[in-house]
């Protein structure tokens, strides 16, 4: 009733090629972006309860948006190209340490250039570890990417120049300045991260609709058949690894510079890789919006598991909450795989589908 | 010292080799659980590590409580029986609530489902049995042993505990071999491993075979937990030890039980030798990734591993 396709006539190819073909979608996404970019900071300035203070921005929104960005990177590889990777955390780490090294050795470079170089470094490393994918696939590839994870974990810890010979292994990010704008307060950091997330999401959405994205999906669906119709597996798999790692490296640099400020190699351990994989699975393999939904879910769930009992004034120990979170995570993954293999993104699509006809049953 | 034969150095080499081989047996024990499940159901069971953790926690906690009630040997028997029952329960639950619902899904989905199972087991296991480090003593002797003192200066230092675990592993492998070759259930398992559809068409119930194979993998996990637990204590890091089993089966071949043993020995010996002889020149700690890099190289040269079945794809 309120949301329907009827009456939307496309008389130009441009209209048919739009990311959001339905006017309600276009209005909705614009409202969402305006709310995120303008309304949220204004509400913060006005001191409206959940937006007042720094907690929401520094502990919830900023990490959530960075994880969503990283998940987009991983989803391009796992969801669109079908190459499973358990090394996403390590590629984030490559981005973080590359950004750190660039900032140490080329202090004058603009921050955005630093971030892009970090992404590029991660893309190169991703390419190298993507080479095994030409010979092996599926579960075997998971082991190969685990090799990347463990090797890079070790390198962050033991290879001196990566951390600029820091004695403790932990490093600190330089102050964030973009064209004279000092990104200091949590709200400003949130805005920076939001801008990057929006650009990456838009770029990825366009990428997967184009030639390259279609190649990836063909490889994912049946690699031999794709090869027969003229897709070069080597080219498309390696571009998937490179672009995915680029985005992961960018997200890693953000995670280190904007979210953590000072970090140790543990920040990019195998746990991070699993967290990203779950975001992608629960959010929906092969879906950009799923990355945001999944990241919100995965990031908010532990807060909820810890917060709800306190809210209901049921005492719960910290380690019990951690175990509970772990168990709930596992159960959710199973439930998602069994009942909705396409994840939250699919549930979102079904809701939209129902809304099209609401309130009529059929 | 001149280059050449130096008895003390050669002795040290064999010492490192022996300790590597013995820890390789432990990797092989965990890898066996993987191979069993992969052979019978095509599921790449990431949860094997969590199963070792839960089996170990159940064993050590039950033993700790029972020791105060009954004599040690009876307490040990009862504790093993308790963890056996628990692993049976887990096998039933996994089959009933996860695998049965995911039948006909891709291998990737099943793999991710086992990651989900891993987290449930880790969370519940630690919630029920506690998350500290527990000392496990199942009565294996722990004294060090010097052998071949006449050949090498100072002899070769061996740990009796490691030798006993080698004996235990050998017994387990023999038992599994007999079970697979001689019993009716074992034959059913092999039939399912060969061809799901054909096995089903001659009346072998797939769901029951899955249950049995997860149960057997659970028993293997108890053995692995008992031995690993006596060595390093029962604690969360057992899960990471089990991650070593992944390269082991890649090297040995996913579908081969002898492959798991040989792969375990190769990886165990290789990583200890690498750590001792290559480690110092690159900063140490290469044990953590050496196994994976070896697995990566094996994958590039011979993707089916040393003993695995070759995968041929047709369209």
**B119, A132: Cβ pair inside 8 Å?**
no
pLDDT for res A173? 81
Q: How many CB pairs under 8 A join A and B?
A: 131
Cis, peptide link before residue B19, omega less than 30° from 0 = no
Least CB-CB distance to B123: which of A225, A228, A323?
A323
Average pLDDT of chain A?
Answer: 85
A323 — contact with chain B (CB < 8 Å)? Answer: yes
Residue B21 half-sphere exposure, CB side, CA atoms within 13 Å? 12
Average pLDDT in the A269-285 region?
Answer: 88
Q: Residue A172: pLDDT band by 50, 70, 90 thresholds?
A: confident
pLDDT at A93 over 80: yes
- Cα dihedral A109, A113, A119, A120, rounded to 10, equals -80
Residues of B in contact with A229 (CB under 8 A): none
Q: What is the spatial distance between Cα A147 and Cα A130, in angstroms, rounded to a whole number?
A: 11
The most confident of A153-167, A272-286, B63-77, B196-210, by mean pLDDT: A272-286
**B101, A338: Cβ pair inside 8 Å?**
yes
A333 — contact with chain B (CB < 8 Å)? Answer: yes
Query: Could you report the per-residue pLDDT of B79-92, keeping only the tens digit for each?
Result: 889 999 999 999 99
Q: What is the spatial distance between Cα A137 and Cα B75, in angstroms, rounded to a whole number?
A: 47
Least CB-CB distance to A139: which of B44, B131, B286?
B44
B296 contact partners, CB below 8 Å, separation of at least 6: A132, A143, A144, A147
Q: What is the spatial distance between Cα B251 and Cα B249, in angstroms, rounded to a whole number?
A: 5
A240 contact partners, CB below 8 Å, separation of at least 6: A76, A77, A80, A81, A83, A130, A216, A219
pLDDT for res B1? 42
Average pLDDT of chain B?
Answer: 81
Q: Who wins on pLDDT, A253 or A53?
A: A253
Q: Who wins on pLDDT, B255 or B89?
A: B89
Q: What is the spatial distance between Cα A210 and Cα A201, in angstroms, rounded to a whole number?
A: 14
**A327, B123: Cβ pair inside 8 Å?**
yes
- B interface residues, A as partner, C-beta within 8 Å: 44, 97-98, 101-102, 105, 107-109, 111-113, 115-124, 126-127, 131, 243, 246-247, 250, 282-286, 288-289, 292-293, 295-296, 299-300, 303, 313, 315
Give whole-number Cα distances, A87 to A141, A153, A270, in Å.
Answer: 10, 10, 7
Backbone phi and psi for residue B225, each to the nearest 5 degrees, phi listed first: -65, -40
Give me the residue label for tokens 């002889």: B277
A101 contact partners, CB below 8 Å, separation of at least 6: A161, A162, A164
pLDDT at B2 over 60: no
Average pLDDT in the B131-156 region?
Answer: 69
Any idea which of A68-77, A97-106, B193-202 has the lowest mean pLDDT?
Answer: B193-202
Query: Could you report the per-residue pLDDT of B124-137, keeping only the tens digit for each?
Result: 888 888 778 888 77
**A138, B108: Cβ pair inside 8 Å?**
yes
The most confident of A19-33, A117-131, B100-114, by mean pLDDT: A117-131
pLDDT for res B85? 93
CA of B239, closest CA in chain A: separation in Å? 12
**B115, A140: Cβ pair inside 8 Å?**
no
Q: What percent of chain A has pLDDT over 70?
A: 98
CA of B154, closest CA in chain A: separation in Å? 34
pLDDT for res B155? 63
Report A:7-36 residues touching B (Cβ under 8 A): none
- Cα dihedral A25, A30, A33, A34, rounded to 10, equals -140
CA of A125, closest CA in chain B: separation in Å? 15
**Sign, CA torsion A34/A35/A36/A40:** positive
Q: Who wins on pLDDT, B309 or B16?
A: B16
Residues of A in contact with B102 (CB under 8 A): 337-338
Average pLDDT in the A226-238 region?
Answer: 91
A142 — contact with chain B (CB < 8 Å)? Answer: yes
Average pLDDT in the B291-313 region?
Answer: 77
Domains and CATH numbers, chain A: 1-52 (no CATH), 53-357 (1.10.3470)
Query: What is the ipTM score, two decimals?
Result: 0.80
Q: What is the spatial distance between Cα B50 and Cα B224, in angstroms, rounded to a whole number?
A: 12
Give whole-number Cα distances, B23 to B130, B162, B231, in Å.
Answer: 26, 7, 10
Residues of B in contact with A139 (CB under 8 A): 44, 107-108, 111
pLDDT at B226 over 90: no
CA of B96, closest CA in chain A: separation in Å? 12
pLDDT for res A77? 93
CA of A6, closest CA in chain B: separation in Å? 36
Any idea which of A104-118, B4-18, B265-279 has the lowest mean pLDDT?
Answer: B4-18
Which of B249, B275, B299 would best serve as a mutation to test chain A binding (most A beta carbons within 10 A)? Answer: B299
Question: pTM value?
Answer: 0.86
Residues of B in contact with A143 (CB under 8 A): 246-247, 250, 292, 295-296, 299
Q: Who wins on pLDDT, B42 or A237?
A: A237
pLDDT at B66 over 50: yes
Average pLDDT in the B93-115 region?
Answer: 83
Residues of A in contact with B98 (CB under 8 A): 334, 338
Q: What percent of chain A has pLDDT over 90?
A: 31
Give whole-number Cα distances, A23 to A20, A26, A175, B200, in Å.
Answer: 7, 5, 42, 52
């Amino acid at each position: 009733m309120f949301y329907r396709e009827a009456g939307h006539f496309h008389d130009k190819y441009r209209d048919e090629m739009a990311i959001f073909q339905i006017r309600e979608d276009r209005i909705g996404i614009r409202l969402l972006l305006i709310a995120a970019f303008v309304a949220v900071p204004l509400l913060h300035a006005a001191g409206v309860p959940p937006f007042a203070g720094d907690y929401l921005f520094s502990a919830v929104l900023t990490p959530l948006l960075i994880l969503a960005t990283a998940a987009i990177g991983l989803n391009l590889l796992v969801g669109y190209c079908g190459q499973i990777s358990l090394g996403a955390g390590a590629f984030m780490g490559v981005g973080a340490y590359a950004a750190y090294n660039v900032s140490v050795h080329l202090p004058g470079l603009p921050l955005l250039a630093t971030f892009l170089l970090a992404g590029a470094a991660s893309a190169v490393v991703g390419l190298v570890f993507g080479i095994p994918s030409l010979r092996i696939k599926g579960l075997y590839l998971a082991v190969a990417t685990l090799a990347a994870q463990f090797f890079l974990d070790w390198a962050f810890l033991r290879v001196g120049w990566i951390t600029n010979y820091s004695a403790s292994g932990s490093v600190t990010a330089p102050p964030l300045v973009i064209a004279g704008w000092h990104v200091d307060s949590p709200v400003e950091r949130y805005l920076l991260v939001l801008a990057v997330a929006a650009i990456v999401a838009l770029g990825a959405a366009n990428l997967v609709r184009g030639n390259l994205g279609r190649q990836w999906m063909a490889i994912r669906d049946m690699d031999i058949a794709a090869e027969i119709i003229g897709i070069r597996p080597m080219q498309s798999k390696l571009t998937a690894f490179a672009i995915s790692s680029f985005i992961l490296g960018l997200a890693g640099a953000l995670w280190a510079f904007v979210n953590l400020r000072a970090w140790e190699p543990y920040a990019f351990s195998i746990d991070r890789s699993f967290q990203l994989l779950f975001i992608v699975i629960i959010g929906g393999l092969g879906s950009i919006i799923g990355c945001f939904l999944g990241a919100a879910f995965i990031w908010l769930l532990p807060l909820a598991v810890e917060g709800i009992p306190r809210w209901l004034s049921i005492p719960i120990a910290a380690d019990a909450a951690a175990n509970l979170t772990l168990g709930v995570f596992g159960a959710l993954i199973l439930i998602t795989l069994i009942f909705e293999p396409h994840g939250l993104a699919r549930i979102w699509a079904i809701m939209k589908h129902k809304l099209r006809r609401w309130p009529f049953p059929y | 010292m001149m280059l050449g034969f130096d008895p003390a150095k050669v002795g040290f080499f064999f010492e490192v080799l022996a300790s590597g081989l013995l820890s390789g047996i432990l990797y092989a024990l965990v890898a066996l659980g993987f191979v069993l499940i992969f052979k019978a159901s095509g599921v790449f069971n990431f949860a094997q590590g969590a199963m070792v953790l839960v089996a170990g926690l159940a064993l050590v906690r039950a033993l700790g409580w029972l020791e105060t009630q009954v004599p040690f040997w009876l307490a040990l028997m009862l504790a093993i029986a308790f963890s056996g029952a628990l692993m049976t329960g887990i096998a039933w639950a996994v089959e009933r609530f996860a695998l049965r619902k995911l039948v006909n899904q891709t291998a990737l989905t099943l793999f991710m489902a086992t990651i989900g199972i891993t987290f449930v087991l880790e969370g519940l296991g630690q919630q029920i049995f506690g998350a500290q480090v527990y000392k496990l003593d199942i009565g294996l002797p722990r004294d060090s042993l010097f052998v071949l003192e006449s050949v090498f200066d100072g002899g070769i230092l061996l740990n009796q505990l490691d030798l006993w675990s080698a004996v235990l592993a050998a017994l387990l492998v023999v038992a599994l071999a007999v079970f697979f070759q001689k019993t009716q259930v074992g034959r059913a398992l092999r039939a399912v491993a060969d061809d799901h559809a054909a096995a089903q068409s001659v009346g072998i119930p797939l769901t029951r075979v899955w249950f049995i194979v997860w149960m057997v993998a659970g028993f293997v996990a108890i053995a692995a937990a008992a031995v690993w637990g006596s060595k390093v204590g029962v604690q969360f890091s057992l899960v990471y030890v089990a991650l070593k089993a992944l390269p082991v089966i890649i090297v040995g071949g996913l579908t081969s039980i002898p492959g798991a043993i040989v792969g375990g020995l190769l990886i165990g010996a290789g990583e200890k030798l690498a750590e001792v002889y290559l480690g110092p020149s690159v900063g140490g700690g290469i044990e953590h990734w050496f196994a994976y890099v070896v697995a990566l190289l094996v994958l590039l040269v011979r993707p089916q591993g040393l003993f695995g079945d070759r995968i041929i794809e047709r369209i």
